[in-house]
Amino acid sequence: MWSKSRVSRSSRQDSFIAQHSIFPQVAAGRPDDNDLAEARQLGSQSREWLTTHPDWATAPRIEVPGHYPYRPTMNPPLKPKTSRQCNRCGICTAQCPVGAIDKNDPRRIDKERCLSCAHCIAVCPRHAKHFGGLIYRLAARQFFKKFSAPQKNCCIFRTA
Does residue 100 interact with ligand SF4 by CB under 6 A?
A: yes
How many alpha carbons fall within 13 Å on the CB side of residue 96? Answer: 24
CA distance 137 to 141: 6
Helix (H, G, I), strand (E, B) or coil at 80: coil
Q: Which of 89, 135, 154, 155 binds ligand SF4 (CB under 6 A)?
A: 89
Q: Which of 75, 87, 148, 159 binds ligand SF4 (CB under 6 A)?
A: 87
- Residue 51 neighbours by CB distance under 10 Å: 9
CA distance 85 to 127: 7
CB of 19 to ligand SF4, least distance (A): 15
Does residue 78 interact with ligand SF4 by CB under 6 A?
A: no
CB of 25 to ligand SF4, least distance (A): 18
Does residue 77 interact with ligand SF4 by CB under 6 A?
A: no
C-alpha distances in Å from residue 134, one per residue of 32, 47, 78, 118, 153: 31, 48, 11, 18, 32
CB of 1 to ligand SF4, least distance (A): 17
Q: Where in 107-146 is the site for ligand SF4 (CB under 6 A)?
A: 109, 114-120, 124, 126, 128-129
CB of 82 to ligand SF4, least distance (A): 5
Which region, judged by CB under 6 A, interacts with ligand SF4, from 33-41, 106-114, 141-149, 150-158? Answer: 106-114
Helices (H), the chain: 33-52, 91-95, 119-123, 134-147
Cβ atoms of residues 13 and 157 within 8 Å: yes
Binding site for ligand SF4 (CB under 6 A): 80, 82, 86-92, 96-98, 100-101, 106, 109, 114-120, 124, 126, 128-129
